[in-house]
Structure formats: C-alpha cells, structure tokens
Amino acid sequence: MKKLLLIDADCGVDDAQAIMIALAAPNVEILGITCCYGNTVLENTCRNTLRVLHACNKLEIPVYAGASAPILGGSVDGAFFHGKDGLGDAPDPNAPGLDLLQKEHAVDAILRIVNERCGQVSLVAIGPLTNLALAVKMDPKLPKKLKNLFIMGGNTEGRGNVTVCGEFNFASDPEAAYIVINEYTCPTYIATWEFSCSSRLSWEFYHEWVNQDTGKAKFMKKITAHSFGVSAAHKKTPGKEVWASGFVSCDSYAVAAAVDENFVTELAQIGLSVELSGSLTRGMMIVDWTDKLKKKNKTFVMKSCDLEKLQALMMAALK
C-alpha cells in the first residue's frame, strides 16, 4: 500500500523542494496540500503550490487555502529569504491561477480527509502550525485518527533564525505551535532548525542537482536563484555563516522522513513544549531533557539521518 500524505505548507522554495520529493516518490499518494501564510502571504503560498504542481504535471492534486494570519492575529511579514513572493521572485506568465483552488477551507479539508482515511494518513507540516492548531480545536479527537505527524520547525538549542531564540515556523505563531506540540498525541516526528543545519548537503551536490537536463531542474534552478544569492552573501555576515556553509533544504527533511522510514537514523523521544511568555524566548521550543514536565505524549526528535538517501530522493524529484 502507498503511504498517504496530507501536506500543510507555506510554499516557499524549500517547501517546493519538499513537495517535489513527495510527488516523485513511487510509494506515496498525496491526498491534498493545505496552504498557510508564512514564507509570504497566503495568496502567494497558494499560487506557489499550484506552480509546483504545474511544473510536475500534478495539478489533479487538490490545493486548499487556509489560515492567512496567526491565531492571535498580527502582521504577516514573510521570511524574504526566498524572495518577496516566496518562490524566488521569478514569475511565470503561464502559471495556473487561483481559480484552481478548492472551495473548501484547508482546516475543513484536513478534518474531512483524515476522517475518510482514519488511521491511515500521515500529516506533514512544513509551515507555521496555524491550520493544524485550528483543526485540533475543531475536533479534539483528530490526533487519534492520524497515523502520524511530521513537523519541520522548532529548535533544540535555543538558536533562533528570526528571533533571538525562535525558529521561523514556531515563532510565526507560537500559540499554534504550543497547541500542536501539546495536543497532537499521535506519533510525532520533528525535524528542527539545528537538525536541518547539521544535516546540510554540499554546494557541489546542489549544482549537480539543479543542472540536470530536465524541465523540473530548470524550474528549480530558476526559483532558487534568489536564495542561492542570499546564501552566498551570508558568507561575510557574522552569525549567518550557516546559510553559506552548505545547502539546507529545511522542509525536505520532514518530508523525507515521511516518505522513507529508514531516512532518520537516530531519534530522541522526549517531552516538548513552546514558550509563550518570555520577552526573548517567545516561540522557542522547550526540550524537557530531564523530564520535569512528566509529559505522557513524547515527541520523536530527529538527531541524525542518511544523507545519501536524501540526495537520492532529491535527485529523483527533478528527473
């Protein structure tokens, strides 16, 4: 049987890379893609998702628009690492329009799809967790109906990438991250910011990857040109050298784990939470190394992975 995935994304360039890994995997069926604000505003993340599906000739996969702002509201500034539009500011005049979006709201779609395939669906969250938080508040029994949950987000060492201590997806909506980490009791696997950075690929691989002679590779090279330039500029920026030291496709780690159960080679099962009140630590993922929280539902935190498997999945994605 194929693995049934439901992907929740804020489609920027690394979301595109991750989605294309899942699209190319022969053992995977994507039941839908739900969209959230994040790397850019919701309209752009929806448009970008459709562009990715169009590039892969997979527009039959339904796409749903979801949350446009955090649970408590506030501005959506976007990450800008992937360009203002989230996809490298490389427009395509032939891109599909938003009229192809499903009319059903993303949160309703999550609840319906999981109920239709109770116990079979792997939910993969690679953006802010607002849609997932809203879904579990609408149906508190949702986690028990999932096969498992894979998340890209959070941090284990207090190293922030958008705030002093906060990783982008969690810091974008700390309340949503708190709800998901504490209320999703299904088996949950998380690829954190530090894990992604420590599992980076070489720039030599990146060039080999995007220079394959295929339409998908040309598409990828076009949309990653902006972030590649930003990474190169960071070589001389104190504190940002990680972006220049190797190719990090953050969201691809969560999808790779969902696609191939042998991708992750070491896990730590541990209690987690999210800080909501700290003036410097709001949005930081709390790792309960000494089990003081006494949490029953502990999360599987990825510690190491098989980079050769990741490279193979990524190469196949652009064939």
Q: Model confidence over 155-171: pLDDT tens digits? A: 999 989 999 999 999 99
* pLDDT at residue 193 is higher than 80: yes
Looking at the 3D structure of the chain, how many domains does it have? 1
Helix axes 250-259, 13-24, angle to 10 degrees: 20
Q: Considering the domain boundaries, does residue 229 fall inside one?
A: no
Would the pLDDT of 86 be above 80? yes
Looking at residue 244, what is its pLDDT?
A: 64
- 76 pLDDT band (50/70/90 cuts)? confident
Q: How many angstroms separate the CA atoms of 95 and 98, rounded?
A: 10
Q: Which of 10, 15, 85, 260 is catalytic?
A: 10
Predicted confidence band at 115 (pLDDT cuts at 50, 70, 90)? very high
Residue 270's nearest CA partner among 233, 296, 249 is 296
CATH number assigned to the domain comprising residue 145: 3.90.245.10
At 235, the pLDDT band (50, 70, 90 cuts) reads low
Q: Is residue 230 a part of any domain in this protein?
A: no
pLDDT over 80 (residue 100): yes
Q: Using one digit for the tens of pLDDT, what is the confidence trace for 246-289?
A: 899 999 999 999 999 999 999 999 999 999 999 999 999 999 99
In a domain, 215, yes or no: no
* pLDDT, position 243: 56
**What mean pLDDT value characterizes the chain?**
95
Q: How many CB atoms lie within 10 A of CB 303?
A: 16
Is 242 within the bounds of a domain?
no
Query: Does residue 12 lie within any of the structural domains?
Result: yes
Q: What is d(CA 53, CA 63) in angstroms, rounded to the nearest whole number?
A: 10
279: in domain: yes
Taking the model in full, what pTM does it have?
0.96
Mean local confidence (pLDDT), 57-86: 92
Is 64 a domain residue? yes
Active site residue 10: yes
